Amino acid sequence: MKMKRLFQLLFLLLLVWYKLYSDWSLEPEPVKAASLRALTSYGHPPWLRECRKIYLDVGSNIGVQVRKFFEPERYPGAEVLPLFDRSFGPAARRKEPSQQTGLCSLGMEPHPALQGRLHEIAQAYQSRGWHVHFYPFAAHTRVGTLLFQQQDGVGRGTASRIAGYGPKSWWPFSWEDRSQQVTVQTIDLADFISSLPASSVVLMKLDIEGAEFDVVPRLAERGLLCKSSIPEAFIEVHESSKFSIAAGERFIEQQLDLARNSEGPCEHTVLNVLDDESFAKDVDHDFAGRTKAALRLSPEDGHSYMFGYFDKWAVDESNQRVLACRIPYADQEPSESAEMVVGFVPMDGTQQFTELGKTTAWNLQQGAMAEWLGPQTVIFNIRNSGGDGKSLFQAQVVDAKSGETWLYPRPVYALNRPRDRFLSLSFQRLHWLYRGYGYTIPDSVPEKIPEDDGLWEVDLGSQHEELLISVRGLYDFLQLTGRTDPITGEAFAEDPENAISGYWYLNHAHVSSEGSKVAFLFRSAMTLFSDSFDFTSLILMDLSSRELWRVPKVHGSHHFFGGFLVSCDALGTFEVEFKASVRQLSWQKGTDGHCNLSPDNEWILTDTYPDAYQLKKVLVEERRGESVYLLGYYREGGQGPSSTRCDLHPHWDRFGCNILFDSTHKDSLRAVYRLDLDAFAFPGCTAKAAGKP
């Protein structure tokens, strides 16, 4: 009897649970009056009044349908193209400026992670004179907020939607992953359409992942499913908690039969049940052909070539020769005997390679630290195999004209041209503590905080060497810095407490353009022989007084020292002056990159790490203005473990007219490329003003 009552109770609880689940309200949370006024203005673009025919793309996802509207030649055979031709005319007509044609495309997509891409599409298309705008709203029946279930946001099966609109399941809410839910703004789609120029929407797409069963009745009720309001639409019907796909299609047809306007029943909108998921992940990121082809400088001879790091001068003083190094492979860490051939190629793209020397001291992130030292001389690192008691790695200078060479007692890391010196650090220690940045040697457990190693300075004339600061000295300094910089009052981005017992090392040293200061990263790794670290801090040193300053606000990842220091990490891009408040710039917030300054210090060049499509960007951004130039997207390919990846590492030529970078986007072979900024109508090139070629 007790068991029977227990089962009855459990059955009753399940009935109640299912009833609650079935009747769960998906009404948006109301918003405050001020927010309501702002939302119902929608943020329409100023050119909206010029739109005579609008394609309304509700549920834009990554914007592929809008791209099909303006660039149909990239999407051959897409099912939606005949609808565009029928409603708006042939593709040639749609490509004319919107001011002439009155054709516009409006999209709507609430997914937060997709807003950046949609903004780029709109920006690129507007530069071509095409009126495109995306609204960051979820289509619904009321203004308010609802939880939005985020998926990867690309193509069929991702099912990003308002939480609760998922298909039925034997377990209530089993589809929902609350860790991937965010709050989004909802709008009344009927009110939104009514705010557009009268009778301007001639074709509408509705792909809103189950919300159509609330939205379509609302549109019918408001008279917007009459042909006089919206002549034609296409919709994807989804399985939901209330309808199978077949039942859902019948429900939508019933709503069409109920369509009426203020005058009574009307001829309803032509509704196509169409789910054009062709090219779901898109064909490219070259919206409206905004990027230009890069010129390959290194030979196409079946070998991989690389330059190295973004903070080195790859181009000689005449701006005619570009350093390029032939490597035996680009998808594995170099062995101790693997040989790099250091040389140069012409800037003009004729691909003639001139050899300067060979080395086994190199890696796939920074090469051999090769750099033009003078008009005819190049410095790079070599491995000392003589067993003469000198450093295992040394810097070698080669005269490109005479072939003469000479050695220095330590390897070069960063040149200080104004002081005729260079800075050095331990590439052995880097190999053990941060894979990909040292030179290959047998693994060995190093001292955690050495007193006899750190940042060295070497005189290029006398070859005199001096330890500027030891790892122990930096460690002791770090312990005194606390949580906040006492000079600026700004907080430090990281606390070293959890990594205090790790192995400490220096990396990414770079000297200011006038030679008075150096910036470097001081890091701790709790794990040996890996490509990760557990703490990092950006530190500046005055080379005359040896005074140290730990930079607040920034994590420290990549930096470049021109007239000032520009620092880029996952927090954003920062302008840094010695012992002054750190200023965050408007660009690249939340995006790390390898940033450096143009020769006139007015433009910031950077790249990005691979996105969800394995594409990396090259961008130039105005330091004090609002201009940004997207120069290209390059697909990652042919790479091994993380320590062997090919970051683009873009860098300027001597006059700020060309961008050089390494990439594996073609044939999976690593190569050196050039982008001519004249092709982008870039105003920052100094060669014209200087009368240089």
Residues 31 and 60: their CA atoms lie apart, in Å, by: 24
> 251, 274, 289 — which closes off a domain?
289
Side chain identity at 468, as an amino acid letter? L
In this structure, the answer to whether residues 336 and 242 fall within a common structural domain is no
Model pLDDT, residue 161: 56
In this structure, the answer to whether residues 501 and 549 fall within a common structural domain is yes
Model pLDDT, residue 157: 42
Q: Which helix (H) or strand (E) holds 255?
A: helix 245-257
| Token output for 144 | 């308010």
User: In terms of residue numbers, what domain contains 446?
Assistant: 295-690
For residue 26, being part of any structural domain is answered with: no
Question: For the sheet containing 572-576, what is the strand order?
Answer: 558-561, 565-569, 572-576, 583-584
Model pLDDT, residue 669: 93
Side chain identity at 456, as an amino acid letter? W
In this structure, the answer to whether residues 136 and 208 fall within a common structural domain is yes
DSSP symbols for 308-357: --TTS--B-TTS-EEEEEEES-SSSPPPTT--EEEEEEETTS----EEEE
For residue 446, being part of any structural domain is answered with: yes
> 245, 264, 289 — which closes off a domain?
289
pLDDT averaged over every residue in the chain: 89
Q: Please report, for residues 99, 562, 566, 591, the alpha-carbon distance to residue 575 in angstroms, rounded to integers and kept in the order given.
A: 40, 11, 5, 15
Please list the ranges in the chain whose pLDDT falls under 70: 1-40, 152-179, 241, 386-390, 686-693
Residues 633 and 572: their CA atoms lie apart, in Å, by: 20
In this structure, the answer to whether residues 233 and 340 fall within a common structural domain is no
In this structure, the answer to whether residues 228 and 303 fall within a common structural domain is no
> 224, 255, 289 — which closes off a domain?
289
Model pLDDT, residue 503: 98
With beta carbons less than 8 A apart as the criterion, state whether 529 and 520 touch. no
Name the nearest CA neighbour of 409 among 340, 339, 457, 356.
457
Side chain identity at 360, as an amino acid letter? T
Q: What is the pLDDT of residues 102-161, one digit of tens each?
A: 999 999 999 988 898 899 899 889 989 999 999 999 999 999 888 877 776 444 445 565
For residue 6, being part of any structural domain is answered with: no
Residues 6+ apart with CB under 8 A from 351: 296, 297, 298, 299, 300, 345
Q: What is the pLDDT of residues 537-548, one digit of tens each?
A: 999 999 999 999
For residue 40, being part of any structural domain is answered with: no
In this structure, the answer to whether residues 539 and 608 fall within a common structural domain is yes
In this structure, the answer to whether residues 326 and 421 fall within a common structural domain is yes
Residues 428 and 383: their CA atoms lie apart, in Å, by: 11
Residues 36 and 28: their CA atoms lie apart, in Å, by: 13
With beta carbons less than 8 A apart as the criterion, state whether 658 and 348 touch. no
With beta carbons less than 8 A apart as the criterion, state whether 364 and 306 touch. yes
For the entire predicted model, the pTM comes to 0.75
Model pLDDT, residue 154: 46
For residue 502, being part of any structural domain is answered with: yes
In this structure, the answer to whether residues 357 and 235 fall within a common structural domain is no
| Token output for 439 | 């030179």
Model pLDDT, residue 597: 96
In this structure, the answer to whether residues 315 and 400 fall within a common structural domain is yes
For residue 646, being part of any structural domain is answered with: yes
Give 590: exposed, middle or buried? Use CB within 10 Å, 0-12, 13-18, 19+: exposed
Could you count the other beta carbons within 10 Å of the beta carbon of residue 89? 14
In this structure, the answer to whether residues 243 and 374 fall within a common structural domain is no
In this structure, the answer to whether residues 214 and 320 fall within a common structural domain is no
The CATH number given to whatever domain includes residue 661 is 2.130.10.10
Residues 251 and 212: their CA atoms lie apart, in Å, by: 10
For residue 8, being part of any structural domain is answered with: no
Model pLDDT, residue 21: 45
630 φ, ψ (degrees, to nearest 5): -85, 110
Name the nearest CA neighbour of 126 among 203, 45, 190.
45
For residue 43, being part of any structural domain is answered with: no
286 φ, ψ (degrees, to nearest 5): -90, 70
In this structure, the answer to whether residues 92 and 158 fall within a common structural domain is yes
Model pLDDT, residue 348: 96
Side chain identity at 12, as an amino acid letter? L
User: 484: which DSSP letter?
Assistant: B
Q: Total structural domains in the chain?
A: 2
Q: Please report, for residues 39, 138, 143, the alpha-carbon distance to residue 33 in angstroms, rounded to integers and kept in the order given.
A: 10, 19, 11
